[in-house]
Amino acid sequence: MKPLNYYEPIVRMKPTADKFDLRLRMVKHALVYGVKPTARVFAMTAKTVRKWLRRYRQEHLTGLNELPRIPLSCPHKTSAALERKVVQVRQRYPFMGAQRLKRMHGLPCSHEAIRRILHGHGLIEKRRKKHQRKRDLAGIKKRWPLFGQFTVDTKDLKDIPHYWPAMKMPKLPRYQFTAREVRSGLMVLGFSREKSAAAACLFVRLLCEHLRDGGLDLKQTRFQTDNGSEFIGCFRQDRTRDGFERIVEGFGATHKRIPVRAWSYNSDVETVHRTIEDEFYDLETFESVKDFHQRVASYQAWYNLVLDNMNKDYMSPWQIIKKVRPRTELRLARRPPLMLDWLGPDYATKDELLLRGDDIPCSGVGFYLILTLLPPYNEYVMSQQLVFCAKKWA
């Protein structure tokens, strides 16, 4: 009979079931023909046959399983006292990792041993992914009061490749002022050819007047901005040129500045900047300033009235406002974008003109033109919003 060559298949076999089956056939052969004939048939030593035959007689089928090969003792194992110290330090400083615990507290074991100890005591939590943290943050913002906080920021439009050729057209805006209400996601836009404190002051004053005329009490409202010069003015000791903050406080609201280089604090408005670039600036072309205002007003109306937000239970900003504050008038969400250059110096106060400087690009007739042309123009914009949305998203 040709030998079965026990050693070669037993080494190559990875599944435990295959090894168990080979040993069982070997044991049954030994019970019938004896140890030495079985050793010749399976090409193995008689000592190995006796070992598995002995285990089979003592434990039956269980004895044919492989025994664990882990050592029974570990001479360099971390002591119980040191293990308790690692656990105590971790519980006191839960934000520190294994390497930091070893480095800052002088633990005499390796960081891998510290990580093993922490894992064994359940002190290592699985890090939450970004979409999970955003979902948790969205749940917290749902409990915020409506119109409790507006995040305000500026967007430089000259870094958008599709918009840059059109921006070279005379009077087409170069900067976008964005205000977004955190609870509902309501967005208000403003545009200007210059990034100045006067433009920022004019934008927030028009926004506050619009909210006040809509029946809102701004005493509980907070306007959050970064540390841009258009929002905080200069760094004089007397703070005489902090026009943005003075205007906000003049309406009873408060102004909050985020820490330096903490962009995540303005994540709500930064999300809008990314969305409007993908959905509007990268798709549309503009023939004139009037055409630009029509299209951006239609987009803003569609964003506030129609577009649903996955992180806000698939509701649009206007639906959230009506749910939380049913008596709110529709005109609060239908405010068209503010073309700040059209208003010019006639609409600005004396203090705001000092912030702006002498080179004012708009003439004194700008406000007169707005008073005579803007009301029917806004009605046209709002009537064309559905046509624009159907054309854009077909």
pLDDT score for 392: 36
Helices (H) and strands (E) in the chain, counts: 19, 6
- From CA 257, how far away is CA 226, in angstroms rounded? 6
Q: What is the pLDDT at residue 257?
A: 87
pLDDT of residue 205: 92
Sheet strands (E) in 300-358 = 338-339
The reported pLDDT for the residue numbered 16 is: 63
- Per-residue pLDDT for 352 more than 50? no
Instruction: Give the tens place of pLDDT for each residue, 265-311.
Output: 678 888 888 889 988 999 888 888 888 999 999 999 999 999 888 87
Question: Dihedral sign, CA of 311, 314, 318, 323?
Answer: negative
For residue 145 the two structure tokens come to: 């009061």
pLDDT tens per residue, range 86-140: 999 999 998 888 999 999 899 999 999 999 999 988 888 777 666 556 665 666 6
Query: Which has more pLDDT, 51 or 370?
Result: 51
Q: What is the pTM of this model?
A: 0.59
Segment 86-98, tens digit of pLDDT: 999 999 998 888 9
Give me the count of residues in the chain: 394
CA distance 140 to 137: 5
Tokens at 246, concatenated: 């003075």
Distance of CA 357 to the CA centre of its chain: 39
Element (H, E) at 167: helix 164-167
pLDDT of 310-328, one tens digit each?
Answer: 878 888 999 999 999 898 8
CA distances from 45 to 24, 35, 66 (A): 16, 9, 18
Domain boundaries, the chain: 7-64, 80-120, 133-392
What are the C-alpha distances in Å from 57 to residues 20, 22, 48?
Answer: 15, 17, 14
Q: CA 207, CA 191: separation in Å to the nearest integer?
A: 13
- The residue among 89, 91, 119 whose CA lies nearest residue 102 is 89
At 17-30, the pLDDT tens digits run 678 888 888 899 99
- Which tokens go with 229? 């010069």
Angle at 182 between CA 178 and CA 184, to 5 degrees: 105
d(C-alpha 46, C-alpha 325), whole Å: 89
Least confident of 70-84, 141-155, 322-336, 344-358: 344-358
Confirm if 269 and 237 have CB atoms less than 8 A apart: no
CA angle 298, 301, 306 (to 5 degrees): 115
User: Which tokens belong to 322?
Assistant: 């009506």
CATH number for 133-392 (one of 3.30.420.10, 3.40.50.2000, 2.60.40.10, 3.40.309.10): it is 3.30.420.10
CB 233 within 8 A of CB 354: no
Look at residue 372 and tell me whether its pLDDT is greater than 60: no
Question: Per 3-state DSSP, what percentage of the chain is helix, strand, and coil (rounded to 5)?
Answer: 55, 10, 35
| pLDDT value for 364 | 33
| pLDDT band at residue 55 using 50, 70 and 90 as cut-offs | very high
d(CA 302, CA 390): 10
* Structure tokens, 313: 């239970």
